[in-house]
Amino acid sequence: MSELSKLTISGARAKLRAKEITAVELTQSCLDAAAGADALNAYCAHTPEIATEQAKAADARIGAGDAPDMCGIPLGIKDLFCTKGVKSQAASNILDGFKPEYESTITTKLWDSGAVMLGKLNMDEFAMGSSNETSAYGPAINPWRREGSDAKLTPGGSSGGSAAAVAADLCLAATGTDTGGSIRQPAAFVGITGVKPTYGRCSRWGVIAFASSLDQAGPMTKDVRDAAIMLEAMAGYDAKDSTSANLPVPNFESMLTGDIKGKKIGIPNEYRIDGMPAEIEKLWADGADMLRDAGAEIVDVSLPHTKYALPAYYVLAPAEASSNLARYDGVRYGKRATLQSGEGINEMYERTRAEGFGDEVKRRVMIGAYVLSAGFYDAYYRRAQRVRTLIKKDFDDVYASGVDAILTPATPSAAFGIGEMKNADPIKMYLNDVFTVTVNMAGLPGVAIPTGMDANGLPLGLQLIGRPWEEGDMLNIAYRLEQSAGFVSKPNKWW
């Protein structure tokens, strides 16, 4: 039974419907795997009682012939999603002990479809980070290691716990969120598939906010087919989210034909950055060749404002974060600092936020407050919004020319070591998002697919950027690329 956690969603679905296994057996396999993987620090809360009850209910639905695709599938849930009665603290000390009295829309949809919650997954604090090292729980650890080395590597961030759990078979799939690459970068670092849907495709209600105009939830899975299955269950209109799109959700899995003959794939010149490792260059070129061999037309395209995306992002995202995080003041919920004699309400605010937030969150809140201040609003925030409009227009122009998807690297390197960036300039860490932030700035769908290995035996991924609302077409191209790349490597178990 210990092997059941290694199944994909589609593989488990087939076995569950054929009555070869039960949801309870599948869930127990994942619970056992998660309980034995403390060294990865992927889970920050285990929910075996809830999982067992949900699995029993799933078995009953399957027996009655009422089984949606996700019925009986055990999932890990990123700590950013509010789950009723279960600790949900965005990996921050300021929300220590917070147990919501409500369920996020996405997790509600998943439970309604019969999915099973194994527990909550580690992440960067308030989703601010690219290495999972800002977490109040301590860093999640990548299950992969460099050949010949025992050095612990980052699983990426902010959805590092989700990435590590899926790659190590501690769950069949996981939820993630992506504000500037926080699904796609960790997916590439651990050799799994990660999808950032079009902004508005999945509800943000009940997902703890970082930057509201950029945040979007998506699935992190073992392959593209699983991503298509899970995305359909997560997506859909939600009246409680004013940015949710009232559009029908297609059957994404049915669109995975692998036929991409005649599709036009763009290669953006501006993504050829200075100092790009030769391995990443080769991976990108090989990916383009795979798609060409499958019948796609490869064309060079220009996204001229790409070079401004990262600086504009690191104005807009902290600005929105400083506003969103103003609510954490020790008054209504979460941590409240102990006051000294004679101190009042202002000291309570200051102490609570000083003790509750980590260094990276404080840095971004201060940057955000600065760019929104009266003397700098026009110089920074308004200018960054104009740049964002130009970035979106770049993509609109490319897609208007007939391009169906854009192929880029997912990350500028393979996974780096825990602590390697500790004393580096924060901007060096921010450069991990160089290939991913444009997708969030333009509100587009993107997917990271593992397609190769570096010289140290670590996974490398490519990114496909799709047309807005055409996740199905994007996933079909990703499916073809996945088939051509034939990436099946798994980390050697050491934990």
Amino acid at 334: G
Catalytic residue chosen out of the listed positions 5, 29, 78, 92: 78
Output the domain CATH number for residue 197: 3.90.1300.10
Q: What integer pLDDT is reported at residue 81 of this predicted model?
A: 98
Token reading at 16: 């569950």
- Domain count along the chain: 1
Residue labelled with tokens 């290694």: 6
Mean pLDDT by 10 residues, the chain (495 residues): 90 97 98 97 98 98 95 98 97 95 98 98 97 97 97 97 98 98 98 98 98 98 98 98 97 98 97 90 97 98 96 96 94 88 90 95 96 93 97 98 98 94 76 92 98 97 98 98 97 95
| Per-residue model confidence (pLDDT) at position 334 | 87
416/396 Cα distance (integer angstroms): 34
pTM: predicted TM-score of the whole model, two decimal places: 0.97
**Pair 246, 205: CB distance under 8 Å:** no
**Identified catalytic residue from 5, 135, 182, 322:** 182
Angstrom distance (rounded) from CA 434 to CA 422:
19
Q: What is the 3-state secondary structure (H, E, C) of the chain?
A: CHHHHHCCHHHHHHHHHCCCCCHHHHHHHHHHHHHCCHHHCCEEEECHHHHHHHHHHHHHHHHCCCCCCCCCCEEEEECCECECCECCCCCCHHHCCCCCCCCCHHHHHHHHCCCEEEEEECCCHHHCCCCCCCCCCCCCCCCCCCCCCCCCECCCCCCHHHHHHHHCCCCCEEEEEECCCCCHHHHHHHCCEEEECCCCCCCCCCECCCCCCCCEEEEEECCHHHHHHHHHHHCCCCCCCCCCCCCCCCCCHHHCCCCCCCCEEEEEHHHCCCCCCHHHHHHHHHHHHHHHHCCCEEEEECCCCHHHHHHHHHHHHHHHHHHHHHHCCCCCCCCCCCCCCCCCHHHHHHHHHHHHCCHHHHHHHHHHHHHHCCCCHHHHHHHHHHHHHHHHHHHHHHHHCCCCEEEEECCCCCCCECCCCCCCCHHHHHHHHCCCHHHHHHCCCEEEEEEEECCCCCEEEEEEEECCCCHHHHHHHHHHHHHHHCCCCCCCCCC
Q: Which of 92, 158, 203, 244 is catalytic?
A: 158
**pLDDT at site 1:** 57
Give the C-alpha separation, 258 to 480, whole Å: 5
Residue 158 falls in the annotated catalytic set: yes
**Joined tokens for residue 338:** 């102990």
Among this protein's residues, is 109 annotated catalytic?
no
- Burial of 212 by CB count in 10 Å (0-12 exposed, 13-18 middle, 19+ buried)? middle
Range of the domain at 184: 1-495
